[in-house]
Amino acid sequence: MVTSTESETTGTGSGGGFLGQIQYWLAVIFIVGWTGVVCGGLGIQFGNWEYPCPLCMLQRYFMMLAAIGGAYIVRKAMTGHIVRRDYMVGWGLAIVACFGGGFTGWRQTMLHILPGDKGYGGAVLGLHLYVWAWILFVAAITTIGVVLSFSHETASETIPTTGPHRTIGTLAIGFLALVIAINVVATFFLEGFHPVLPDDPSCYKLLHDLGILDGGCVLPESH
């Protein structure tokens, strides 16, 4: 008689090979992809001097949280052995993040849906960043769902600890950690010594608070 635990460690999904490593590589793509999107937002922020609003920042946080879900899977797999529960924890975290990010992207889109509304910030390929974020979050949830539908074949419990697997995984996690640190600093510069961002920020408040920047800065209303 084969127990449920034994059955999980047998079959195609536990034997390795490219098919069995699909979830591992998808987790790597989640790390690099979402972190890259956040970097794109940072590039527009500093390159075009566009200040992200609170909803924009929330979408970035959810993107990084989705990437952390992928990082959880990659970090567990880098030990050479990962159980199905670890996949579920990582993808569960990513789905929650994508759902939250998708809602904030939808919310911001609806705020600018009326005819004649120019939207917030610049556009990329005809769509504002929050619209792209909404599309990407929905696409990510769909992708996870499709891959998990074939989890027995795509969730290998044995991942190589040498070669490109460990190198790429380490670089991806390091990339994520660096971008998270940059976002923490950027958020501090935006908010300064205030607890919240205004709906339409116009400067880096930390510079205003320290007296480096004078005038032209909208401060949050006191409640």
Gyration radius (Cα) of the chain, Å: 21
Give the C-alpha distances (Å, rounded to integers) separating 89 from 23, 30, 69, 86, 130.
Answer: 13, 14, 8, 5, 27
pTM: 0.81
**Alpha-carbon distance 49 to 51, whole Å?**
6
Q: How far is CA 76 from the centre of its chain?
A: 19
**Alpha-carbon distance 50 to 42, whole Å?**
9
Alpha-carbon dihedral sign for residues 52, 188, 59, 148: positive
**Alpha-carbon distance 158 to 83, whole Å?**
9
List the pLDDT tens digit at each of the 223 positions of the chain: 434 444 444 334 444 567 778 888 899 999 999 999 999 888 888 887 778 888 888 999 999 999 999 999 999 988 888 888 999 999 999 999 999 999 999 998 888 887 776 767 676 777 788 888 999 999 999 999 999 988 888 878 777 777 788 888 899 999 999 999 999 988 888 877 777 777 777 777 777 777 676 655 655 443 3
